[in-house]
Structure 1
Amino acid sequence: MESFLTAPALGIFVGVLMGLTGAGGGILSVPLLIFAFHMPIAEAGPIALSAIALAASVGALIGLKEKVLRYKAAIFMASFGLILSPLGLWVGQHAPNTPLLILFSAVLIYVATRMYIQASQTLAGTTPPMMKPPPCQLDMSIGKLIWTVPCARALMFAGATAGFLSGLLGVGGGFIIVPSLKNFTDLPMKAIVATSLGVLAIVSAGGATISLASGTLNMSIAGPFAIGALIGLLFGKILEKNISGPRVQQIFSIFTFLVALSLIYKCLF
């Protein structure tokens, strides 16, 4: 009975963050599941991926309808993510739980610190100027990215890295995709969030499918959690229009940092 109450509540929280940031919800899914259900990271990861896949798919469709999703870039990045995701899943299933938790905590601290600094710079109007044009630039006349070899190489690396970490740690990879799209493209933030959700949808669906086929996906928790995440994402997309993005990122980064410290304490004590 507990899973039918706790799982959707956690899912709603994760979904709201995904709708607001395009990245935040996925990376918090695993630690929240670990704390709530006392499960190892290898079991929490597939559950998180199933929720990310469902919620991100709907978010990506909303972005496609609003014509802000760069679907070619999303498919290109996700294709390399799908190649590396099974390797990450295999490593995650065979690695000891404690080192994985410490690695996950380190990733959380990195993401939280980077996001807080960037959000603070944006709010203060002190964002450092871009020294040179990004490798992927938007052709304003047709509203599409101009594809070059440096552009393809940058997106390929980001997609592959996100895919491996998605399988290894059960995260969607949005914390890799969003900063990468910020650095490598000149897309507006709405397009970055939508494109990130498109990549997450494809990569997470691949990882969740593999986990389901191998029997490592706990559907009694994954189902309610995924439905809650979907509801939360739709609510988050509504809030997105009325809430300052940088302020949300600051709050999220502080919360993420505290979660990381809690995971480290759990490992050591």
Structure 2
Amino acid sequence: MTEPFLISAALGALVGVILALTGAGGGIVAVPLLVFGLKLDVATAGPIGLAAVGIAAALGALLALREGRVRYKAATLMAGAGAIVSPLGLWLARRVPNAPLMLLFALVLLYVAARMLLQHRAHRQPNRPDRNPGAACRIDEVRGKLAWTLPCARALTLSGAIAGLLSGLLGVGGGFVIVPALRRISDIPMEGIVATSLAVIALVSMSGVVASSVSGHMAWAAALPFTGGAVAGMLSGRLVARRLSGAHIQRGFAVFAGVIAIAMMVKASALI
């Protein structure tokens, strides 16, 4: 009894650290770690991952909000769209067999890993602009806030809905959708993007957790230590995040995610 508890807490701590460092990666590695570490199927691991990532992300978002880095109106719009669509993902996850769902998860994770490696190389290019000059959502230089337009609202809503669907279907926070989406559609600085992503992850994840709890699909015996570990990992990760190179973090996470994706593909192939 003690060993699964400790394993769950340790895996949660790893997820919390990754979430603190990347603002995007913790959610997408939570489910694979639960699948391999606790031998759970994807549909069971998903709600547990959502609970841990949601609470850890909420903690990080609150701390960032105190520092004035969260674009809370954009986060609320994206999270609202995600919360509406998330139950559909949960419904689908309960009706797709474990092996195809695991294979889908592996392909998504492999895509995320490959994209992060490509972004790492792009960041090393000289004269690369830090801000997006053609963004649909732009910060008003006078007020220091987003200038709301129809294209901006539409882009944020669509991104939030996609994140919500994947959140319910695969048990991920959706940060791997939210962060690149905000980079593409806005000129928000990267630290603000990470903080806003955490806020969206927290809100969308909590809607999925509530839906799972109401339907009786939440394995609390594994979720509680996993969530506690994730919160501890988030606090610890924040202490070291600013001392580490963002490029090295991105490259290291991409390699880590790629290895997990390949392992999940092998496991899924064995189940088919």
TM range (shorter): over 0.9
Do the aligned partners of residues 240 and 129 (structure 1) sit closer, same or farther apart at CA in structure 2, a change above 3 Å counting?
A: closer
Q: Which moved more, 1:137-146 or 1:215-224?
A: 137-146
CA distance in 1, matches of 2:59, 2:124: 30
| Aligned partners of 1:3 and 1:220 also within 8 Å | no
Match of 1:28 in 2: 29
Match of 2:53 in 1: 52
Amino acid in the other structure paired with 1:100:
L
Amino acid in the other structure paired with 1:191:
G
CA distance in 2, matches of 1:168, 1:128: 35
> What is the Cα deviation at residue 120 of structure 1?
2.1
| SS of equivalent residue, structure 1 residue 134 | coil
CA distance in 2, matches of 1:129, 1:179: 14
CA distance in 2, matches of 1:255, 1:43: 23
Count of residue pairs brought into register by the alignment? 269
CA distance in 2, matches of 1:240, 1:49: 22
Q: Which moved more, 1:114-123 or 1:153-162?
A: 114-123
Name structure 1 gaps, 5 residues minimum: none
Partner deviation per Cα, 1:59-101 (whole Å, 9 max, x = no partner): 1101100000000000000000001000000000111111111
Q: Which moved more, 1:124-133 or 1:139-148?
A: 124-133
Please list, as runs of the form range in 1=range in 2, the aligned pairs for 1:255-266 lying within 5 A after superposition.
255-266=256-267
Match of 1:251 in 2: 252
> What is the Cα deviation at residue 130 of structure 1?
7.7
Name structure 2 gaps, 5 residues minimum: none
Please list, as runs of the form range in 1=range in 2, the aligned pairs for 1:137-152 lying within 5 A after superposition.
137-152=138-153
Runs of 4+ aligned structure 1 residues displaced above 2 Å come to 123-132
Match of 2:219 in 1: 218
CA distance in 2, matches of 1:125, 1:45: 40
Q: Which moved more, 1:123-132 or 1:245-254?
A: 123-132
Partner deviation per Cα, 1:26-82 (whole Å, 9 max, x = no partner): 100000000011111000000000001110100110110000000000000000000
| Aligned partners of 2:132 and 2:186 also within 8 Å | no
CA distance in 2, matches of 1:250, 1:41: 26
| SS of equivalent residue, structure 2 residue 187 | coil
Do the aligned partners of residues 7 and 129 (structure 1) sit closer, same or farther apart at CA in structure 2, a change above 3 Å counting?
A: closer
**TM-score, normalized by length of structure 1?**
0.97
CA RMSD of aligned residues (A): 1.4
- Identity, % of aligned pairs? 48
CA distance in 2, matches of 1:129, 1:188: 8
CA distance in 1, matches of 2:180, 2:166: 15
**TM-score, normalized by length of structure 2?**
0.96
Match of 1:237 in 2: 238
Report whether the alignment pairs 1:96 with 2:135.
no
Do the aligned partners of residues 195 and 130 (structure 1) sit closer, same or farther apart at CA in structure 2, a change above 3 Å counting?
A: closer
> What is the Cα deviation at residue 171 of structure 1?
0.3
